[in-house]
Amino acid sequence: MNIPELLAPAGNFEKLKMAVHYGADAVYLGGEAYSLRNLADNFTIGGLDEAVTYAHARGVKVYLTTNIFPCNDDLEGVMRYLEKIRDISFDAYIVADPGVLDMVREISPDQVVHLSTQANTTNWRSARFWQGQGVARVNLAREMTLADIHGFKSHVAMELEVFVHGAMCISYSGRCLLSSVMTGRNANKGECAHPCRWGYALVEEQRPGSYFPVLEHDRGTFIFNSKDLCLLEYLPELVNAGVDSLKIEGRMKGINYVASVIRVYREALDRYRENPEAYVVKKEWLDELKKISHRGYTSGFLFGPPGQEDHEYQTGYLRSHEFVGVVTDLVEDGSIIIEVRNRITSDDELEFIGRGMVSHRFSMAGMTSETNAYPLLVAHPNQRIRVRVPFHIEPLDLIRREKMPSRIDGE
């Protein structure tokens, strides 16, 4: 039985470490240009080399996103970039544009290439065409149904990758023009301003100064705003359809998102591997995914065209917990060092989340300064504190705090 690879986003080095720590089999990341996420932190050339070395030492593959749609003026820069990175041992390049593929073949003829979802592959003949160009894997368009996916492997001898979790664009597999038209920032060159998340109202041409809200919400309507994709409940169906890689969206998301999503999908895949016949989706896994910021969840196109219930007519996110810190060091006396990311008080009861869905609740009444010189009643972001906990903990484990369920506008 082929258990799919779990492929995680790595928008910077810290996110890469989190993805590896919580169980990703592979990560995808981008350089400072040409990767469709130019507004993420991304990696310098030296940083890319360091990232590959770090991941490979821990048995994790690294795929480089080079999925820009270049104009003529971009070609020389893309060429120089590919020449600079040719000696870095990426496990694959992710491309969308035939011209970029042609340049990769010219500069790095033996490099494994994966096809981006931006190429909008929706049928097996298209996949077979790309296979003929030497592409080893295709990331299928998000518009594919489960029935569509089932037919691919009988026609092509290439790996199949699908997105299973994260934000969805109201456009064709991410090829959106809204940002370019409304802000001058080209989404297809990695600079999307996310206008699909903005609020809209109607204007009648004879009343140019009058705005009429469509009362899905008293602040307007968010007609382009999709719920987030979540296919956790359908992993067996995807495995049986022949999917080789499950991709998590989110290079622009924070480390709490990366860690929380990866640990859930890792746990689910491991349990399925152990005993497919007895496998069930646990409620605690679904509850865990509701603890991070999200817009509600949908199965997208997996079972046919989305309906009205798959749109999110609100502007903010839902979440039940907030991220407050990360464990950075274990001290010889048994205490731990925490790097604070959100205000912590000595009255807080926090939850430490480890790998394998392990979690522990703990009161912060005994926290001190990093050097253990004095007790603390309050710890602030970027401060390093020390505390002794009565359970096993590891560096890179995250810490969060429960909050009242609410909608966090503008997050």
* Residue 374 confidence (pLDDT): 95
Min mean pLDDT across 45-49, 296-300, 304-308, 384-388 is at: 304-308
Dihedral sign for Cα atoms in the order 188, 192, 195, 198: positive
* Residue 211 confidence (pLDDT): 67
In percent, the amount of the chain with pLDDT more than 90 equals 68
* Residue 406 confidence (pLDDT): 44
Min mean pLDDT across 68-72, 103-107, 111-115, 340-344 is at: 68-72
User: Of 147, 133, 187, 142, which Cα lies nearest the Cα of 161?
Assistant: 142
Each residue of 24-62: pLDDT tens digit?
Answer: 999 999 998 787 655 556 799 999 999 999 999 999 999
What is the C-alpha to C-alpha distance for residues 137 and 49, in angstroms, rounded to an integer?
A: 23
The domains of the chain, with CATH numbers, are: 5-170+227-303 (3.20.20.380), 319-408 (2.40.30.10)
Paired sense of beta strands 159-166 and 245-248, if any: parallel
Residue 357 region, left (φ>0) first, then alpha (ψ -120 to 50), else beta?
A: left
* Residue 174 confidence (pLDDT): 61
User: Of 157, 324, 345, 178, which Cα lies nearest the Cα of 254?
Assistant: 324
* Residue 185 confidence (pLDDT): 78
CB 397 within 8 A of CB 354: yes
What is the C-alpha to C-alpha distance for residues 295 and 257, in angstroms, rounded to an integer?
A: 13
